[in-house]
């Protein structure tokens, strides 16, 4: 599909509200453009409507070229929601373009992912679990959905959360978040046989339960309470747990700021 200044709005921006549009800025004299074009056309055909290819001849459409700052071609831009969201310049191999598309195209399950995140924010682990599982049925390699599912599972079954996270390897998308959740899963399901019996054990387990529910203020309250009584309890487990939470939140987070002084005082008694 060729587009120009008169139909760019109707043929690119408006359709991009629902379906991503890939715009290939090219020129007849451009050798690399001629090599890139059949690759893009092949990939569009394979995409089965997931995205649309549009072409702009920069020799004829200099106004559009200026509008988007095209200084070298081929130049490929990806539009979604009436906005430019990504792009690449130069001639790439088919394999490289496939990888770029996998990373750059919005997930067709974006609405379900958004609903899962909102459910988690509202404390609705059941809905978050259902939405995340729906995405993984369609996209088994969607690490964002896997992380959201693990976060929901963490509130009821830390072991299940750890199993869900197993496929996410270091360096993969969302691996940092997965590592944090693995730490939290360990905190949420401590080895109770390794915890000395007594009142502090009950308080420590309150902290573990709060971690599972993502109630980090309550978790810090409990762990610091343990530290104030015995900073070496369970080989310093409460100290490590509180530190993990504050590092995850960041030292400027309001919850961290609220408990930092009490934590520092407790570990330095």
Q: What is the pTM of this model?
A: 0.60
DSSP 188: H
Per-residue pLDDT for 269 more than 80? no
Number of domains in the chain: 3
Residue 1 lies in a domain: no
Dihedral of the alpha carbons of 176, 181, 266, 222, in degrees to the nearest 10: 160
Cα 146 from Cα 133, distance rounded (Å): 8
Three-class secondary structure of residue 85 per DSSP: strand
Instruction: Look at residue 18 in the predicted model and tell me its pLDDT.
Output: 83
Q: Final residue of a domain: which of 153, 178, 203?
A: 178
Cα 107 from Cα 118, distance rounded (Å): 17
pLDDT tens per residue, range 220-263: 999 999 999 999 999 999 999 999 999 988 889 999 999 999 99
Cα 108 from Cα 106, distance rounded (Å): 6
CATH number assigned to the domain comprising residue 123: 1.25.40
Q: Final residue of a domain: which of 104, 120, 138?
A: 104
Residues 12 and 99 in one domain: yes
Residues 12 and 100 in one domain: yes
What is the set of active-site residues? 30, 33
CATH number assigned to the domain comprising residue 21: 3.40.30.10
47/238: higher pLDDT: 238
Pure H helices in the chain: 8, 31-47, 62-67, 94-104, 110-121, 125-138, 143-154, 158-165, 175-188, 199-212, 216-229, 237-249, 254-267
Residue 184 lies in a domain: no
Instruction: Look at residue 268 in the predicted model and tell me its pLDDT.
Output: 87
Cα 177 from Cα 148, distance rounded (Å): 10
Q: pLDDT tier at 50 (50, 70, 90 boundaries)?
A: confident
**What pairs with residue 88 in β-bridges?**
76
Domain that holds residue 61: 8-104
Residue 3 lies in a domain: no
For 148, list phi and psi in degrees, rounded to 5.
-65, -40
**The two three-digit tokens of residue 18, written as one number:** 């629902």
Residues 172 and 259 in one domain: no
Instruction: Look at residue 81 in the predicted model and tell me its pLDDT.
Output: 85
Cα 159 from Cα 119, distance rounded (Å): 21
Residue 196 lies in a domain: yes
Residue 187 lies in a domain: no
pLDDT tens per residue, range 147-203: 999 999 998 899 999 999 999 999 888 898 899 999 999 999 999 999 999 999 999
| Mean pLDDT in residue range 44-59 | 90
Cα 139 from Cα 67, distance rounded (Å): 36
Q: pLDDT tier at 35 (50, 70, 90 boundaries)?
A: very high
Residues 217 and 251 in one domain: yes
pLDDT tens per residue, range 80-130: 988 899 999 998 999 999 888 888 888 778 888 989 999 998 889 999 999
Cα 241 from Cα 188, distance rounded (Å): 10
**The two three-digit tokens of residue 123, written as one number:** 């404390």
Per-residue pLDDT for 75 more than 80? yes
């Amino acid at each position: 599909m060729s587009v120009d200044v008169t139909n760019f709005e109707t043929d690119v921006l408006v359709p991009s509200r629902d379906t991503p549009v890939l715009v290939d800025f090219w020129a007849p004299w451009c050798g690399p453009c001629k090599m890139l074009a059949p690759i893009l056309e092949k990939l569009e055909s394979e995409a089965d409507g997931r995205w649309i290819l549009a072409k702009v001849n920069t020799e004829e459409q200099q106004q559009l070229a200026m509008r988007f700052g095209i200084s070298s071609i081929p130049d490929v831009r990806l539009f979604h929601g009436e906005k430019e969201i990504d792009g690449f310049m130069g001639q790439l191999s088919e394999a490289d373009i496939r990888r770029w598309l996998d990373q750059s195209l919005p997930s067709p399950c974006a609405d379900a992912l958004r609903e899962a995140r909102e459910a988690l924010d509202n404390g609705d682990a059941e809905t978050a679990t259902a939405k995340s599982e729906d995405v993984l049925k369609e996209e088994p390699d969607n690490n964002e959905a896997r992380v959201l599912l693990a976060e929901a599972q963490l509130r009821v079954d830390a072991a299940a959360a750890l199993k869900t996270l197993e496929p996410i390897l270091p360096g993969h998308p969302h691996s940092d978040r997965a590592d944090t959740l693995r730490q939290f899963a360990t905190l949420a399901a401590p080895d109770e046989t390794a915890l000395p019996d007594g009142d502090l054990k009950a308080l420590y387990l309150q902290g573990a339960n709060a971690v599972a529910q993502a109630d980090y203020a309550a978790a810090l309250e409990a762990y610091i309470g343990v530290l104030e009584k015995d900073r070496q309890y369970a080989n310093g487990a409460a100290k490590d747990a509180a530190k993990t939470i504050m590092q995850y939140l960041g030292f400027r987070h309001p919850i961290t700021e609220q408990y930092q002084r009490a934590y520092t005082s407790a570990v330095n008694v």
